[in-house]
A and B are shown apart, each in its own frame.
Chain A
Amino acid sequence: MGHQRILDRAPFETCHGFARPLDQRLLLNAPFVLSRAVEVLMSSAPVPEPPAPRPAPEPFSPEVLAELWRRPHRLYELVLAAPDRLGASFARSGAPGSCLLLLLCGAGLFALPYGLVLGWDSWWRVSVLYLGSTLICLPSLHVCASFIGARVSIAQVLAIGLLLSAAAGAFTLGFSPILAFLRFTMESEATQISWVSISNVLLYVALGAGVVQLWRCFAGARGWTDSALFALVLVFWHGVFLYVFLQMHRVLELAA
């Protein structure tokens, strides 16, 4: 009965005003018949509930930030584990000073072991590479954001820049034993790929991780500013930042 009902409602095609034979009509209208059949079958099935919207991330409370000063080895929690919560914190309270200071400490300290692996006299170079490039480029981000009318404070701009540096620094900390091993086992005058080339690749991987973390933080900061416009500015800013980073890499003689 159901099939007949569907077929009755199918719009029969005509050719030069004459009705076509039934089997030909069925063939021509097969897509319509099938879609109607699926519609009829689905109408009796229970409609699946749409997935629940993700709850908005909770910002870090001042107590949690104070706790990090007492246990600095848990600074990773702030830098790596919850970028969306960090974004929510920046959006709600406009990047508190203690949070900025923690990120600055992270950006400065995490990269020190990698610098030490590069050489005793190079302990500062990797920290300066990330932190210096970021700090040089942050004014341009703030000015461009203000120019297009995005309401972002200096503290918020500073916070996302420091997060990039701190996340990249955290990755270099993880890579430092690997680089030490490579330095120990590889010929310094290798003709094609030396440990310095591998080190440069690792520094860029860490930079990539920092950029990803910046965007995650930005995604978590709902209602921070005019998101679409600021995202556009951030994309362009990455170009400027990458160029400065390359120059800084050269100036610090890390490629040699």
Chain B
Amino acid sequence: MIPRARSPWRELASGLLGAAAYGFALGSAHSELYAARNALKFPLLIAVTCMLCAPSTWIAARFLGVQLSFLAVQRSAARLFLDASRLLGGFSPAIFFVAHAARAHDDGKLGRYDEFLALNLLCVALAGSASLLRQSRELWRAQAIARSSARRAVAAWLAISLFTGGQAAFYLRPFFGYPASRGGSPPWFLGAEPDRRGATNFYEMVWQSLERPPLPELYRETR
């Protein structure tokens, strides 16, 4: 476990720095432009998700028997993200190295995009699970909340955050990018622009990944 920072401001700063470092490492698989932008976009993603979910996390906490004030709930919910960000920040040198190694040998088309995506999904899942476990333990021990209530509340916070953060991440795209899309001047945010399968939001993307419809004609011959 990472030791807790001394003050909330330090905790916030270290979490945002971790997110920025991870974003930078992630984007460097594509280009320096993506890396620099991701260093800002990743902390922004976390901040936006935290703010949007603030009322619903509190209501969910009260509903599930966590008797904490609005601010205390926000602190606990934000720690979920900050802990995960610090853990991801710890992974960032390794991700940076892998990104550069992949970039040095890619074919300029798809490269090792899928492999890199899978690795990052694994890192995010690991960091998310660890911070989830830690936060439920903290609620149970430090705040003297029943273990079952603490677990349910933290799981609800995670579900709400994923539901909202997924769309925020979709809107703030691109984070990765195919090697084939290097050069030019890509926009900061793709917003509701359709992806390769035509999904215009996160929920459509999830739906399509379950349904697996064929790619549009335009992209079929690139595979």
Measured CB to CB, the residues of A under 8 A from B are 76, 80-81, 167, 170-171, 173-178, 181-182, 185-187, 190-193, 198, 209, 212-213
User: Which of chain B's residues have a CB closer than 8 A to the CB of A175?
Assistant: 56
B110 at the interface (CB under 8 A from A): no
User: Which of chain B's residues have a CB closer than 8 A to the CB of A185?
Assistant: 167-168, 170-171, 191-192, 201
Q: Please measure, in the bound complex, the distance between the C-alpha atom of A81 and the C-alpha atom of B145, giving whole angstroms.
A: 14
Determine chain A's interface SS by DSSP, over half rule. Answer: helix
Most buried by B among A167, A173, A190: A190
User: Which of chain B's residues have a CB closer than 8 A to the CB of A80?
Assistant: 59, 62-63
CB distance from B214 to the nearest CB of A (A): 15
B97 at the interface (CB under 8 A from A): no
User: Which of chain A's residues have a CB closer than 8 A to the CB of B203?
Assistant: 193, 198
Q: Please measure, in the bound complex, the distance between the C-alpha atom of A167 and the C-alpha atom of B199, giving whole angstroms.
A: 34
B76 at the interface (CB under 8 A from A): no
Known: A80-B63, A187-B192. A176 touches B167 (CB 8 A): no
**Selected contact of B198 from candidates A76, A173, A191, CB within 8 Å:** A191
User: Which of chain B's residues have a CB closer than 8 A to the CB of A212?
Assistant: 63
**In the complex, are the beta carbons of A190 and B204 less than 8 A apart?**
yes
Measured CB to CB, the residues of B under 8 A from A are 48, 51-60, 62-63, 67, 160, 163-164, 167-168, 170-171, 191-192, 198-201, 203-204, 207-208
**In the complex, are the beta carbons of A174 and B167 less than 8 A apart?**
no
CB distance from B190 to the nearest CB of A (A): 11
User: Which of chain B's residues have a CB closer than 8 A to the CB of A190?
Assistant: 192, 200-201, 204
Q: Please measure, in the bound complex, the distance between the C-alpha atom of A95 and the C-alpha atom of B181, giving whole angstroms.
A: 66
Known: A80-B62, A187-B192, A209-B63. A182 touches B167 (CB 8 A): yes
User: Which of chain A's residues have a CB closer than 8 A to the CB of B198?
Assistant: 191
CB distance from B57 to the nearest CB of A (A): 8
Q: Please measure, in the bound complex, the distance between the C-alpha atom of A213 and the C-alpha atom of B199, giving whole angstroms.
A: 37
User: Which of chain A's residues have a CB closer than 8 A to the CB of B171?
Assistant: 185
**In the complex, are the beta carbons of B55 and A173 less than 8 A apart?**
yes
User: Which of chain A's residues have a CB closer than 8 A to the CB of B191?
Assistant: 185
Known: A178-B164, A181-B167. A187 touches B200 (CB 8 A): yes
**In the complex, are the beta carbons of A174 and B55 less than 8 A apart?**
yes
Q: Please measure, in the bound complex, the distance between the C-alpha atom of A191 and the C-alpha atom of B204, giving whole angstroms.
A: 9
A185-B171, A190-B192 are known; give 15 further A-B pairs, CB within 8 A: A81-B67, A170-B59, A171-B63, A174-B57, A174-B59, A176-B55, A177-B51, A181-B48, A181-B167, A185-B168, A185-B170, A185-B192, A192-B208, A193-B204, A209-B63
